[in-house]
């Protein structure tokens, strides 16, 4: 199966090269196909590693285990639907001047972005991990700036500056971790995950703690943990809708994956409770602040962005609770959040195309004006809030149950209160946008493109399917990944 | 000392002239001046009293006394050596300066008075620096006799490369520049009244009085150089007994050291412009801040166990402190070209550390490759590329800070000290103690880089802030993980390259769309 790992790294690159050199129609097709192929490959390798196997390729530089596969799935899914959705999203611009150049550049960058995010869970050592995460930052910064408006440039500059500085701290974390390893592994070694985890026991406790905190702060900047989240709403609201979806569902999760690798080392060094406490503090803080911001938003893309921060807080809490059920729930939440947030951002993108505004107050009667987008945006909102039938409900329910089992009453209480607060906020805003009577006749009725609807339907299918029935393969994968987090040295 | 001092002045004047492509005065010119002036009659200004007449002799006596207190040629104290410590020496120097100032006021000439009041104003800020320098000396040696500090350094060379000591050296060097009236503080031999501080005070003197003042000021210069060289920087090569051959060697070495410092001074004088008068407090405050930081660092320096001197360790601490100092320089600088230059120098220093690391047997040969790539990318490509782009965009090179320089430096020093407090209790791996003491300095550098990004609302400066952050991290990585595989290090650099490219593209977008590279105009997205 290790050929599939190499293929995963090559397919998007080929698509990117095609996008740059060929006609924009071919670029469009290549992107959609590359996304779908990557998703297929991701599912295939995920099934291969679900019982604890580890795939390796390229002399050990590329490696995948069940933990990485969870994140690979989330990225593969979003990459595929974003590719399809982009076809429709750019449709409206086709008449503008210079469209061919714009489209070629856009698709090339989108493919590169997908490529870099697929590489994150495939990295086998901390150095490569950092490099791939930084790659995602710089490539997505260009994508955020695609629209070239004042606001987009501002968002992009803030994003690349804050995220890169955060990653500078993360680099420090990696170096500290490397130094702790010299004790057992000698002066010069490759900081492979497996090797560091195997030798973590007996290394300096202070240094491991320092490295973990630095990693949470550094990579946490990209995850969007409060108070390092300031770039996130700007970047998410100004990027094109497919890019927002990838940022929210995949890029944040990828950075969180990096934190989980540090978490593994900390657990192996016997610092489990310390690491969990750090995650609980950051998770709770993000959840609280983000849900309060959700209430007072007037821009629906920023609303969704704050909801992403909230969900990252939920995932951090789930890992922090430490019960196997909660950990599996948190990992499932990575996938369900990716699909639900993809759906929501796609819906928001269609609304933006239809109404040409990002203000919540100016969007009314979407339910009747846009017969597909309106209901699906509402469905996305409901799913994000964790209503039953959606996968998000399942994962959040698992986290709460796990928290009660541990027991972590303070954390669970905070979780329940503020998730409900966000529930209220999102539903209130989304309801006003969709269920009101349409105002005036300025808005064209109908959908801009069938491709938009196709992308949304794909996400909706995944959200509902995961809520109704969790496939046995996926559940095995999640359990195995949970084991890897709980006892990494085994 | 008395005979050697004018020679040093002469050499500096001549050297400067050569660098400036003038012929310049002869090296022995100061002697001729003094002899000539001694033979002239004294002209007294009208209102002058006995103070004015006495001042040259009092001050010269003061300057001539100090060499008895400091280790000029010998490692053991001269008979009077234990009569006064560093503070005592400082006091005598100060007293001599005071006599000149009083005389200047007594003369009733406006120029002389202006020089005097300026000197007092800025000189007042020097005294706390001296006090803090003495603190560190006292903390290291439990006394403040200059001989003892010299002896301590000779006994364990490792003390020289301790971060706190390196900072003291930097602070004291700035102090020396200040006290001897060199650029960037004053212009020494200038005739332009506006620039005069030191010279202004003596403008009313003539004849033998002026001769003694000139002589005295060159003695003072040499005394300060001697303290700098023989007490702080390199207390070696002094005669340990009164034997003639040893003393001769010591004299030669002293001359060599003084001239070496003179060369550095020449380079500084010729490459910097004089600071505007109201910027001077920034300069003195900077040196004071460095001294404060040194004390704080000394108090909080981690107990890493025994310190053994290694080339690697010395290179590590020196580099870390140097990078930190360059960052402080960037924090002070208001000009983007200057910041670019400082960044390039910093990168070159990091590369030098990589070479030193490999040469001293840590890590492996691949570090040479890393050093080469570092120089190519960070010291050449980035600065030149960024300069090219900014020139093409016709960006305004001025990048004023949002808060004053002294406050910025204060925050920076607080951050650097914070890094020491945080790192102190942490024990890492098996690394030797000395290189490890460079780690908190590097972490402090990271924090200062953040400060630079926060304080400059300009895209190029923020980009440079990110780059010096990366430099500080590189130092940390060379210090505690010299064995990091070359392939990873190269990957990191490659990533940095892409990152910088993207930054530059964004800067261009900003410049095109907003016709400026300011980032404080980016305030639309809130909430």
Q: What is the pLDDT of residues A444-455, one digit of tens each?
A: 667 778 888 888
| B492/A302 CB distance under 8 A | no
Contacts of A202 in chain B (CB under 8 A): none
Contact partners, residue B270, CB within 8 Å, separation at least 6: B16, B19, B20
Is residue A23 classed as helix, strand or coil in its secondary structure? coil
Of B421, B440, B478, B483, which to mutate for an interface test with A (greatest number of A Cβ within 10 Å)? B483
Q: What is the pLDDT of residues B295-335, one digit of tens each?
A: 877 777 655 555 566 777 778 888 888 888 888 888 888 88
Q: How far does A434 lie from chain B, in Å, by closest CA?
A: 24
| B362/A187 CB distance under 8 A | yes
Dihedral pair phi/psi, residue A359, rounded to 5°: -80, 135
What are the residue ranges of helices labelled H in B301-396? Answer: 311-332, 336-359, 366-374, 382-393
Q: How confident is the model at residue A442 (pLDDT cuts 50, 70, 90)?
A: low
Residue A435 pLDDT exceeds 80: yes
| B428/A204 CB distance under 8 A | yes
Nearest CA in chain B to A162: B466
A190/B273: higher pLDDT: A190
Contacts of B431 in chain A (CB under 8 A): 179, 182
Mean pLDDT of A312-339: 93
Q: Residue B396: its pLDDT value, please?
A: 76
Q: How far does B382 lie from chain A, in Å, by closest CA?
A: 17
Output DSSP code: residue A62: E
Mean pLDDT of A11-36: 91
Is residue A425 classed as helix, strand or coil in its secondary structure? helix
Q: How confident is the model at residue B190 (pLDDT cuts 50, 70, 90)?
A: very low
Mean pLDDT of A33-60: 91
Is residue A55 classed as helix, strand or coil in its secondary structure? strand
Q: How far does A30 lie from chain B, in Å, by closest CA?
A: 25
Q: Residue A41: its pLDDT value, please?
A: 94
Query: Of B364, B446, B513, which has the smallest distance from its Cβ to A148's Cβ?
Result: B513
Mean pLDDT of A191-210: 86
Q: How far does A383 lie from chain B, in Å, by closest CA?
A: 25
Q: How confident is the model at residue A226 (pLDDT cuts 50, 70, 90)?
A: confident
Least confident piece of the model among A80-84, A348-352, A430-434, B6-10: B6-10
B219/A219: higher pLDDT: A219
Predicted complex ipTM: 0.88
Residue B378 pLDDT exceeds 70: yes
| B509/A153 CB distance under 8 A | yes
| B429/A138 CB distance under 8 A | no
What distances in angstroms separate CA A272 from CA A180, A254, B218, one per listed residue? Answer: 17, 21, 66
Contacts of A176 in chain B (CB under 8 A): 428, 480
Q: Is B260 left (phi over 0), alpha (psi -120 to 50) or beta?
A: alpha
Tokens of B140: 């290291």
Q: How confident is the model at residue B193 (pLDDT cuts 50, 70, 90)?
A: very low
Nearest CA in chain A to B522: A154
Element (DSSP H or E) covering residue A56? strand A55-57
Q: How confident is the model at residue B102 (pLDDT cuts 50, 70, 90)?
A: confident
Nearest CA in chain A to B501: A138
Peptide bond into B184 cis (omega under 30): yes
Q: Residue A80: its pLDDT value, please?
A: 94
Give the CA count within 13 Å in the CB-facing half-sphere of B360. Answer: 18
Q: Which DSSP string do the residues of A242-262 spell out, in sequence order?
A: HHHHHIIIIIHHHHHHHHHHH
Q: Residue B439: its pLDDT value, please?
A: 82
| B446/A169 CB distance under 8 A | yes
Residue B85 pLDDT exceeds 70: no
Peptide bond into B334 cis (omega under 30): no
- In chain A, the percentage of residues whose pLDDT exceeds 70 is 98
| E strands in A62-218 | 62-64
| A186/B524 CB distance under 8 A | no
Q: Report the mean per-residue pLDDT for chain B.
A: 75
Nearest CA in chain A to B364: A188
CA torsion B211-B215-B217-B219 (nearest 10°) is -170
Q: Residue B192: its pLDDT value, please?
A: 44
The tokens 């007293």 sit on which residue?
Answer: B95
Q: Residue B432: its pLDDT value, please?
A: 60
- In chain B, the percentage of residues whose pLDDT exceeds 70 is 67
Q: Residue B144: its pLDDT value, please?
A: 62
Residue A24 pLDDT exceeds 60: yes
Q: Which of A453-457, B25-29, B197-201 has the largest mean confidence?
A: A453-457
Q: Residue B363: its pLDDT value, please?
A: 64
Residue B393 pLDDT exceeds 60: yes
Q: Residue B399: its pLDDT value, please?
A: 78
Contact partners, residue A413, CB within 8 Å, separation at least 6: none
Q: Which of A347-356, B92-101, B421-430 has the largest mean confidence?
A: A347-356
Q: How many helices (H) and strands (E) does chain A have?
A: 20, 2
Q: How far does B460 lie from chain A, in Å, by closest CA?
A: 11
Q: How far does B404 lie from chain A, in Å, by closest CA?
A: 24
Burial of A352 (0-12, 13-18, 19+ CB in 10 A): middle
Q: Residue B305: its pLDDT value, please?
A: 52
For residue B163, give the nearest of B34, B353, B337, B290 by alpha carbon: B290
Residue B194 pLDDT exceeds 50: no
Q: How far does B503 lie from chain A, in Å, by closest CA?
A: 8
For residue A289, give the nearest of A236, A228, A226 by alpha carbon: A226
Q: Residue A444: its pLDDT value, please?
A: 61
Q: What is the pLDDT of residues A263-282, one digit of tens each?
A: 999 999 988 999 999 999 99
Residue B27 pLDDT exceeds 90: no
Query: Of A153, A179, A182, which has the smallest distance from its Cβ to B513's Cβ?
Result: A153
Compute chain A's Rg from CA coordinates.
Answer: 21
Tokens of A289: 């602040």
Contacts of A135 in chain B (CB under 8 A): 495, 498
Compute chain B's Rg from CA coordinates.
Answer: 25
What distances in angstroms separate CA A133 from CA A167, A473, B182, B333, one per listed residue? Answer: 8, 28, 50, 33
User: What span, in angstroms and rounded, lies between the C-alpha atoms of B107 and B287?
Assistant: 32
Q: How confident is the model at residue B191 (pLDDT cuts 50, 70, 90)?
A: very low
User: What span, in angstroms and rounded, lies between the C-alpha atoms of B475 and B316?
Assistant: 8
User: What span, in angstroms and rounded, lies between the C-alpha atoms of B280 and B360?
Assistant: 41
Q: Residue A289: its pLDDT value, please?
A: 93
Element (DSSP H or E) covering residue A409? helix A409-434
| A175/B426 CB distance under 8 A | no
Q: Residue B203: its pLDDT value, please?
A: 64
Output DSSP code: residue A386: T
Mean pLDDT of A137-159: 87
Q: Residue A115: its pLDDT value, please?
A: 95
Nearest CA in chain A to B525: A234
Burial of B410 (0-12, 13-18, 19+ CB in 10 A): middle
Query: Of A151, A161, A191, which has the smallest distance from its Cβ to B525's Cβ?
Result: A151
Residue B185 pLDDT exceeds 90: no
Tokens of A146: 């695609």
Query: Of A157, A161, A187, which has the smallest distance from its Cβ to B482's Cβ?
Result: A187
The tokens 């493109």 sit on which residue?
Answer: A449
Q: How far does B495 lie from chain A, in Å, by closest CA?
A: 6
Residue A59 pLDDT exceeds 80: yes
B473/B400: higher pLDDT: B473
Contact partners, residue B491, CB within 8 Å, separation at least 6: A127, A128, A131
Other beta carbons within 10 angstroms of residue A56's beta carbon come to 15
Least confident piece of the model among A143-157, B81-95, B125-139, B465-479: B81-95
Q: Report the mean per-residue pLDDT for chain A.
A: 89
| A153/B506 CB distance under 8 A | yes
Query: Of A172, A207, A237, which has the smallest distance from its Cβ to B428's Cβ?
Result: A207
| A168/B426 CB distance under 8 A | no
Residue B59 · residue B36 · CB < 8 Å: no
């Amino acid at each position: 199966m290790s050929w599939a790992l190499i293929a995963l790294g090559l397919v998007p690159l080929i698509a990117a090269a095609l996008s740059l050199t060929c006609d924009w129609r071919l670029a469009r097709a290549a992107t959609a196909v590359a996304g779908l192929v990557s998703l297929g490959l991701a599912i295939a390798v995920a099934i291969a590693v679900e019982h604890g196997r580890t795939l390796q390729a390229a002399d050990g530089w590329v490696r995948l285990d069940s933990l990485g596969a969870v994140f690979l799935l989330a990225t593969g899914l979003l990459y595929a639907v974003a590719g399809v959705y982009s076809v429709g999203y750019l449709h409206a611009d086709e008449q503008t001047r210079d469209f061919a150049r714009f489209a070629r550049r856009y698709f090339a960058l989108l493919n590169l972005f997908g490529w870099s995010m697929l590489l994150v869970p495939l990295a086998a050592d901390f150095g490569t991990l950092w490099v791939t995460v930084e790659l995602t930052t710089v490539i997505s910064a260009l994508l955020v700036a695609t629209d070239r408006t004042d606001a987009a440039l501002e968002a992009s500059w803030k994003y690349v500056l804050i995220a890169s500085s955060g990653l500078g701290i993360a680099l420090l974390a990696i170096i500290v971790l490397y130094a702790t390893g010299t004790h057992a592994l000698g002066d010069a070694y490759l900081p492979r995950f497996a090797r560091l985890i195997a030798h973590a026991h007996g290394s300096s406790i202070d240094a491991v703690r320092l490295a973990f905190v630095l990693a949470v702060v550094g990579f946490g900047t990209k995850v969007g943990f409060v108070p390092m989240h300031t770039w996130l709403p700007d970047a998410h609201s100004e990027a094109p809708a497919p890019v927002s979806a990838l940022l929210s569902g995949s890029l944040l999760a990828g950075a969180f994956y990096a934190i989980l690798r540090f978490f593994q080392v900390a657990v192996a060094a016997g610092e489990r409770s310390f690491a969990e406490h750090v995650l609980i503090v950051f998770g709770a803080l993000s959840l609280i602040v983000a849900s309060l911001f959700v209430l007072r938003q007037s821009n629906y893309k920023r609303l969704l962005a704050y909801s992403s921060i909230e969900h990252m807080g939920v995932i951090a809490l789930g890992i922090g609770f430490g019960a196997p059920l909660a950990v599996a729930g948190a990992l499932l939440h990575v996938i369900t959040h990716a699909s639900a947030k993809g759906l929501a951002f796609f819906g928001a993108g269609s609304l933006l195309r239809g109404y040409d505004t990002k203000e919540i107050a100016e969007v009314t009667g979407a339910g009747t004006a846009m017969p597909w987008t309106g209901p699906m945006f509402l469905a996305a909102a409901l799913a994000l809030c964790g209503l039953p039938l959606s996968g998000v409900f399942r994962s959040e329910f698992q986290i709460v149950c796990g928290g009660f089992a541990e027991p972590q009453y303070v954390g669970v209480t905070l979780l329940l209160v503020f998730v409900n607060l966000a529930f209220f906020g999102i539903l209130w805003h989304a309801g006003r946008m969709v269920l009101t009577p349409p105002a005036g006749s300025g808005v064209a009725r109908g959908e801009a493109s069938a491709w938009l609807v196709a992308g949304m339907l794909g996400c909706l299918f995944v959200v509902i399917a995961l809520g109704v029935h969790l496939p046995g393969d996926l559940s095995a994968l999640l359990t195995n990944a949970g084991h890897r987090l709980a006892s990494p040295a085994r | 000392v008395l005979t050697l001092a004018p020679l040093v002045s002469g050499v500096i004047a001549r050297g400067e002239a050569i660098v400036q492509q003038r012929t310049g005065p002869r090296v022995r010119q100061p002697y001729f001046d003094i002899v000539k002036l001694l033979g002239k009659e004294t002209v007294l200004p009208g209102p002058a009293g006995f103070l004015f007449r006495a001042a040259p002799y009092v001050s010269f006596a003061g300057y001539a006394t100090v060499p008895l207190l400091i280790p000029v040629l010998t490692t053991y104290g001269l008979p009077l050596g234990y009569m006064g410590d560093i503070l005592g020496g400082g006091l005598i120097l100060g007293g001599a300066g005071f006599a000149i100032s009083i005389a200047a006021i007594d003369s009733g000439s406006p120029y002389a008075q202006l020089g005097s009041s300026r000197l007092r104003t800025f000189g007042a800020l020097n005294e706390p620096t001296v006090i803090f320098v003495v603190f560190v000396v006292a903390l290291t040696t439990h006394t403040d006799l200059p001989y003892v500090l010299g002896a301590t350094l000779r006994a364990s060379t490792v003390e020289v490369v301790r971060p706190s000591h390196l900072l003291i050296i930097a602070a004291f060097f700035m102090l020396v520049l200040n006290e001897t009236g060199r650029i960037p503080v004053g212009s020494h031999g200038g005739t332009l009244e506006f620039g005069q501080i030191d010279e202004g005070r003596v403008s009313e003197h003539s004849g033998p009085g002026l001769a003694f003042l000139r002589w005295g000021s060159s003695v003072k210069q040499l005394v300060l150089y001697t303290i700098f060289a023989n007490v702080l920087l390199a207390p070696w090569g002094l005669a340990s007994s009164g034997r003639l051959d040893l003393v001769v060697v010591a004299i030669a070495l002293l001359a060599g050291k003084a001239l070496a410092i003179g060369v550095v001074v020449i380079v500084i004088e010729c490459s910097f412009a004089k600071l505007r008068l109201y910027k001077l407090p920034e300069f003195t405050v900077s040196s004071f801040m460095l001294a404060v930081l040194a004390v704080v660092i000394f108090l909080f320096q981690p107990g890493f166990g025994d310190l053994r001197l290694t080339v690697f360790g010395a290179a590590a601490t020196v580099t870390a402190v140097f990078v930190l100092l360059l960052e402080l320089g960037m924090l002070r600088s208001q000009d983007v070209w200057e910041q670019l230059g400082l960044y390039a120098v910093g990168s070159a220093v990091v590369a030098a550390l990589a070479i030193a690391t490999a040469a001293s047997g840590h890590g492996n040969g691949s570090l040479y490759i890393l050093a080469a790539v570092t120089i190519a990318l960070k010291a050449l490509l980035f600065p030149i590329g960024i300069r090219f782009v900014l020139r093409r965009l016709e960006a305004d090179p001025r990048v004023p800070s949002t808060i004053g320089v002294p406050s910025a430096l204060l925050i920076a020093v607080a951050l650097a000290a914070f890094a020491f407090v945080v790192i102190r209790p942490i024990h890492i791996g098996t690394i030797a103690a000395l290189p490890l003491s460079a780690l908190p300095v590097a972490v402090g550098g990271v924090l200062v880089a953040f400060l630079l990004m926060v304080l400059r609302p300009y895209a190029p400066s923020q980009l440079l802030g990110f780059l010096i952050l990366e430099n500080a991290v590189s130092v940390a990585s060379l210090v505690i993980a010299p064995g990091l595989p070359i392939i990873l290090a190269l990957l990191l650099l490659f990533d940095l390259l892409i990152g910088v490219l993207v930054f530059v593209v964004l800067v261009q977008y900003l410049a095109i769309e907003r016709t400026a590279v300011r980032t404080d105009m980016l305030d639309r997205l809130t909430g």
